[in-house]
Structure 1
Amino acid sequence: MAYIDLGLDETVNPGIRGLLRYRPETGRPLMELAEVLLRGPSTLSRGEREMVAAYVSGLNECVYCRNSHGAFAAAQLEDGRPLVDQVCDDPASAPITDKLKALLQIAAATRVSGHDVTPSLVAAAHDAGATDAEIHDVVLIAAAFSMFNRYVDALGTLAPTDPAPYEAAAPRVTGSGYLA
């Protein structure tokens, strides 16, 4: 049960979903940001961007966001859940591109502090083929999800441990987006 009364059934609206419904005037802009970051035009695939969100959420120990964005990434990536789990557990050994590995290092640094993103991390991402726009977007995804993670966890929202509800939501989110 959330730390505050959201005035709704949390089993139907777990995690951030209940918070967005509680304060739609703040919820709508947050979902607009998620829509642009995770589904808008980019040279990174939607699955890759969802995987960055899941990875950062895992590092931040946000069960709801790690599981939901992991499910959304898995639904959009050829290697699905096994790849997402491998990346979240150990991106250095995961079968992903060097570019994505470098971008995940930037994401991990961003979640700790903007000052932890160094010129050498950016240079390594460039050397691996990342564009300035991709670096920008990964930093913003990591920063935004660190905020989302704190929002969800600081208010004690429900975070199911069963993967089924997250997997059930994946077709809706991957098909219609965050604003539907």
Structure 2
Amino acid sequence: MPHIDLGNDQPGIRSLFYYRPETAQPMSELAEILLRGPSALERWERELIATHVSGLNECRFCTTTHAAFTAAQLPADLDLDVIRADLAAAPISDKLKALLDIAAAVQRDGRQVTPELVAAARTAGATDLEIHDTVLIAAAFCMYNRYVDGLATTMPDDLGLLAERAKVLVAEGYLPTVAAARAHQAQAARA
């Protein structure tokens, strides 16, 4: 049960966005840019970074939802469970492995991102923009995870709904949630 009355029955961060659409807007815009905007990294790779950091933070809602979002965008020859089971042996690029190492360092403490980690990512082919975006995705997800868990949001009763939500996200992105939150707030104000 959430620590405060959110006035809606949405799970996880959606409940917080419905509670406070004003803060949902910039947070959703940031997620949209980082996870879906133009990038040399594929969308699934960026979602994997978000999933990895959320898992390290033990944020069940964000780990579960972003794993579904990652899986919905994976190339057919990849299996998310195989990737997550052993990142070092995973059939992903050395560049992505190096970026995941940077993301893990950010999750522990931003100062843990060392010149050696950055050099390893560059050696594996990462650009400065990809390194920047990895650090920002990791930092943002530390914030999102703490927001979700700090207010004790709930998980959906039916985890199968996450696969459906993932299809919507792939098609429409993160911003429609803000529109739905604003509509909920307007309806609540009229009630």
- Regarding TM over 0.5, the answer is yes
8 Å CA contact 1:87, 1:94 repeated in 2: yes
Which amino acid in structure 2 is aligned with residue 146 of structure 1?
C
- Alignment correspondent of 2:144: 148
Q: Distance in 2 between matches of 1:161 and 1:37?
A: 28
- 2:8 counterpart of 1:8: yes
Q: Which has the higher contact order (CA 8 A, sep 6+)?
A: 2
- 2:169 counterpart of 1:177: no
Which amino acid in structure 1 is aligned with residue 14 of structure 2?
R
1:78, distance to aligned residue in structure 2 (A): 1.4
The verdict on how the C-alpha distance between 1:123 and 1:162 changes in structure 2, with shifts beyond 3 A counting, is farther
- Alignment correspondent of 1:112: 108
- Alignment correspondent of 1:75: 72
The count of corresponding residues between Structure 1 and Structure 2 is: 176
1:113-132 equivalence runs, <5 A: 113-132=109-128
- What is the TM-score when the length of structure 1 is the normalising length? 0.93
Taking only the aligned residue pairs, the percentage that are identical comes to: 59
- 2:15 counterpart of 1:23: no
- What is the TM-score when the length of structure 2 is the normalising length? 0.88
- Alignment correspondent of 2:51: 54
- State the Cα RMSD in Å: 1.4
1:165, distance to aligned residue in structure 2 (A): 1.8
Larger radius of gyration: 2
8 Å CA contact 1:55, 1:87 repeated in 2: no
Displacement over 6 Å in runs of 4+: none
Q: Which runs of 5+ in 2 are unaligned?
A: 177-191
